[in-house]
Structure 1
Amino acid sequence: MFATATRNFVEEVDERGGLLIPMRSLNDSVSLLTVVVSQKRFWFWQKPKHMPTDFTLNDVLTGNAPITPVLIETDFIKYNGTYGDSIHGTADATFIHSNVSVEGKESSKLQLLFGSLKKDEVDVRKLLQDSKNRVLDMSHRLIQQTKKKRQVFGVVKERIVTSQPCSVIEEVQQAEQCTGALSLCGPKSPKVSLKDNGSLSKDSNVTMEIPTNTTLAYALIELEVKHDGRYELCLMSNKGGFEVDSPTQKGLAGVTGAPVQNNPDVSHLARELENLHAHFQLLSALPACGRSSLLKNITAVMEDRAALSALQSVLDQMLLDKSANMADVSEAHKQCIQPVVDVLEESECGSAAQTERSASVLSALHLITSALDELTCDSLAALRVCSSPDVLKIMELLVQCLLGSGASPASGADLAALPEVILRNVEHLFAASDVNLERDAARVRINQLRQPANRPLILCIALRGLHSLAHCV
């Protein structure tokens, strides 16, 4: 709940810059010059995973003279926000002598009552001056462990903190109603009618009180570390890391993946998706029951940002050592994560060829969840509303439209047939990913906006991946 709140906050106040990092837990704490270890991710468009440590820059420096930063404290903003979504669905089934109707409603609301916030930051020019000729203790255990794992050192240069007690309130309402009618009649018996009505409702209201001086988000300066412990502060870009020891490897460890495209065009988008085609094809080739289970449970995971992040962490671990470690996963999240892991583990049984194929399925599923985890909270909510096979098929046509001429008569007619609530979510989903969608009764025009980000690629990966699971479901 706290992680969802801080992520929503950062998406609102730092939409384009991408400099602020949301705090993930109230148990984590950072101060200025706290050392944060950044782990570069598997796919180049993923944001790094940041892990605050218990150490400051002074703790890992040689010498007895500590760096004393100059603190600049300013008022930031007054922030109160409300986020929510509502889903209403009805299903009817009619048999020869019976009919069943199921209706479900779900709504959720998240209120962030942060009030007045302040910003603490270090005077970077003074920090540059103080860091001149300073050397890191390369024998320090934290440095040794970070260096071995090809991770990156950064220090906190700025943080957004609460200036008064505040709260986060989450309200969830769920209601289901089932009505059934069953008729029995025999050649010599009177007609018997049995009717049954059942309903289930579940409400929750959770309030989290947050104390004064709690960090909601922070920004980093990465360090470029040389062999001898000398370091440079990376002021204009995140290019930090440790100098590689091997003479055959030049550059810095920890800098992985392709750079973010400053002006990604359609040809770049098409090329990247073509490179990932085998992953989508592999998901489409899974048995129907496996695909149906994955789509159902991934859609359920999308309801909770924390559950999605937990699934992502489990798949990260499975890619590293092929075992699912859910020791740190809450019981509530295990209910929707375990079925996903079960489908993957079923693929591991059999011959070596099947095991190799399973690793590919794992990579393909990791690709999809990685893209979902990069979407904003409101985009994720919109996609969840649009995750039925029929709507995913239409959105796959829109992806093809984007990669092709930019216009499609067929998809225009398909879009017009969608309910208005679904249509609004489809349009919002594309607009939030820097893709412009224009429609009339028979035609759709779709084009990518010129923005310095990989958002269109991430959206296309998410949509194509879910469509692969929904294919012929």
Structure 2
Amino acid sequence: MFAAATKNLLQDVDRGGFLVPVPGPNDRIVLLSLVIKRRCVWFWQKPKYLPTDFSFNDVLAGDTPISPVVTETDFLKYSGMFSDTAKGKAEANFANANVVLKGRDASRLQSSFGCLKREELDLQKLLRDSKGRVLDMSHDLIQQTKEKQREVFGLVKVRIVTTQPCSVVEEVQQMGHLGGLLSVCGPKSTKVSLKENGSLTTDSNVTLEIPPHTPIAYGLTELEVKADGRFELCLMSNTDGGFEVDGPASKHLVGASPQPTPDPCLKQELEKLDAHFQRLSALQASTRCSLLRSLSAAMEDQEAVGLLENVLSQRCLGESPALEDVQVEAHRRSIQALLDLVEPHGGEGKMEDSALFALYLIVSALDELTDSCLAVLSSCCSPSVLQALDLLAQCVAEGGGLSLKGAGLAPLTGEIYEKTERLFSGSRVLLKRVGDTVEAEFQQQPGHRPLVLCIAIRGLAALANTL
């Protein structure tokens, strides 16, 4: 809830991506704090930021701490409201049951941060004070971060904080209708039947009160750390931090961000990932069904997707994620259930050839989607709709158009088509109908959003294949 509010704020006021949203009100973010920036596996992923309990002074060698000079300025006054409505209907006919489910979910997130203040370090003074200083390379935090190879240090140089008591309000309304007869027979002929139509309405209204001086965003300057403890602040936006290590021929930096791929071809990038989609399609139908059902449930909560992505990332990098660190019991159980489903299907010695790595690819793409896109996609996870969306994803990658009268696109009518338009529009792809044909057109500066959406759709469709 807090994380969604801070993320929405930065999407509105920081399109350049300089600031990082604070994920929780209890995160200790102060100027000169050390934050670990984790470089991700896929070039289209945004880096992850892990706040630590340590400051720059904690890892400096010597007994003289640096006293920063801070300037404070008014940032802006902010109030935002974000709403989403999803409707759906499903029918199922079984030997002993005929079930009709209808539902409508409406949610609204209102953020009233009020007047915000910007706190910023005087970098000129910091450079003077840190000249000739070195880091204590024996410090546990430095040792553990250096070993990860994908992680670098960032120094908090800017904070955006609240100046008055404020609030984040989340309102959710769920309405459902169940009709028909449902019979479940157990091993001892125990029978449970529901014969009458029923309806269910649930409402929740949660208000999070935020005190003054709560950080909601921050900016970093990365550190380039030499093997002997000397360091440099990366003052330019196009320079990256990292740790210097001894190589066979020369010294290089580990943890530095990869060079961005210049204008990747969407079709070619998807073709490179075909083996992962095929690996998911090759799983047993029962396994794929369970995976799709679990992912659909996780997609209803952005936080759950982020937690799952983090755990899968650690597993795929050979680390042992601590599931006990996942605070919500329901999230912990769902993550463990997903791991139990895919970990028995390992590759031939390479993590990249495993179903676990293929699942990591899909979840990483889901984690990159905007909240609104994720909400829409989570309501479109029936096999027939996913197969239709997969055809559209191929159309986006290859260009051209598709006939809406084709058998594969038959589910894309009425509300489903409206959702499809919203889904692709949220990823900078405009769907245009010309008669009975739909064509895709990229909006200005789409970035990696179309690719990320196509990866998510193709992966989910692979799990839904022949279900």
TM-score, reference length from structure 1: 0.87
Indicate the residue corresponding to 1:237 in structure 2.
238
Summarize the alignment of residues 149-228 of structure 1 with structure 2, pairs less than 5 Å apart: 149-150=148-149, 151-180=151-180, 195-228=195-228
Paired residue secondary structure (1:46):
coil
C-alpha distance 442-238 of structure 1, shift in aligned 2 (>3 A): farther
Residue from 274, 281, 285 that aligns with 2:282? 285
Farther-moved stretch of structure 1 (421-430 vs 142-151): 421-430
Summarize deviations over 1:413-454 as a string: whole Å, max 9, x none: 676963443333322332332333322223333243452732
What is the rounded CA distance, in whole Å, between the counterparts of 2:442 and 2:240 in structure 1?
28
What is the rounded CA distance, in whole Å, between the counterparts of 2:404 and 2:321 in structure 1?
40
For the 8 Å contact 1:317–1:325, the answer to whether it is kept is no
Paired residue secondary structure (2:452):
helix
Farther-moved stretch of structure 1 (60-69 vs 358-367): 60-69
For the 8 Å contact 2:159–2:215, the answer to whether it is kept is yes
* Shift of residue 463, structure 1, vs aligned partner: 1.4
Indicate the residue corresponding to 2:300 in structure 1.
303
Q: Does 1:407 align with 2:405?
A: no
Amino acid at match of 1:271: Q
C-alpha distance 73-422 of structure 1, shift in aligned 2 (>3 A): farther
For the 8 Å contact 1:3–1:24, the answer to whether it is kept is yes
Q: Does 1:392 align with 2:386?
A: yes
Indicate the residue corresponding to 1:427 in structure 2.
421
Residue from 371, 375, 380 that aligns with 2:369? 375
C-alpha distance 254-322 of structure 1, shift in aligned 2 (>3 A): closer
* Shift of residue 360, structure 1, vs aligned partner: 0.9
What is the rounded CA distance, in whole Å, between the counterparts of 2:108 and 2:178 in structure 1?
25
For the 8 Å contact 2:156–2:220, the answer to whether it is kept is yes
Indicate the residue corresponding to 2:188 in structure 1.
none
Q: Does 1:273 align with 2:270?
A: yes
C-alpha distance 91-147 of structure 1, shift in aligned 2 (>3 A): closer
Root mean square deviation of aligned Cα: 2.9
Indicate the residue corresponding to 2:20 in structure 1.
21
What is the rounded CA distance, in whole Å, between the counterparts of 1:227 and 1:116 in structure 2?
44
* Shift of residue 368, structure 1, vs aligned partner: 0.3
Farther-moved stretch of structure 1 (361-370 vs 236-245): 236-245
C-alpha distance 95-277 of structure 1, shift in aligned 2 (>3 A): closer
For the 8 Å contact 2:384–2:411, the answer to whether it is kept is no
Summarize the alignment of residues 230-379 of structure 1 with structure 2, pairs less than 5 Å apart: 230-234=230-234, 235-248=236-249, 250-255=251-256, 258-262=258-262, 264-265=263-264, 268-321=265-318, 325-329=322-326, 330-347=328-345, 360-379=354-373
What is the rounded CA distance, in whole Å, between the counterparts of 2:129 and 2:198 in structure 1?
70
Summarize deviations over 1:126-151 as a string: whole Å, max 9, x none: 43344333322223232222222222
Paired residue secondary structure (1:169):
strand
Paired residue secondary structure (2:251):
coil
C-alpha distance 98-314 of structure 1, shift in aligned 2 (>3 A): closer
C-alpha distance 457-93 of structure 1, shift in aligned 2 (>3 A): closer
What is the rounded CA distance, in whole Å, between the counterparts of 2:65 and 2:93 in structure 1?
76
**Structure 2 segments unaligned to the other structure (5+ residues):** 183-193
Amino acid at match of 1:328: D
**Structure 1 segments unaligned to the other structure (5+ residues):** 183-193
Farther-moved stretch of structure 1 (91-100 vs 296-305): 91-100
Residue identity (%) = 51
* Shift of residue 359, structure 1, vs aligned partner: 6.0
Summarize deviations over 1:276-312 as a string: whole Å, max 9, x none: 1100111111111211211121111011111111211
C-alpha distance 139-408 of structure 1, shift in aligned 2 (>3 A): same
* Shift of residue 325, structure 1, vs aligned partner: 4.3
TM-score, reference length from structure 2: 0.88
For the 8 Å contact 1:281–1:468, the answer to whether it is kept is yes
What is the rounded CA distance, in whole Å, between the counterparts of 2:110 and 2:218 in structure 1?
21
Paired residue secondary structure (2:68):
coil
For the 8 Å contact 1:260–1:454, the answer to whether it is kept is no
What is the rounded CA distance, in whole Å, between the counterparts of 1:203 and 1:419 in structure 2?
30
Farther-moved stretch of structure 1 (382-391 vs 458-467): 382-391
Amino acid at match of 1:136: L
For the 8 Å contact 1:284–1:469, the answer to whether it is kept is yes
What is the rounded CA distance, in whole Å, between the counterparts of 2:237 and 2:111 in structure 1?
32
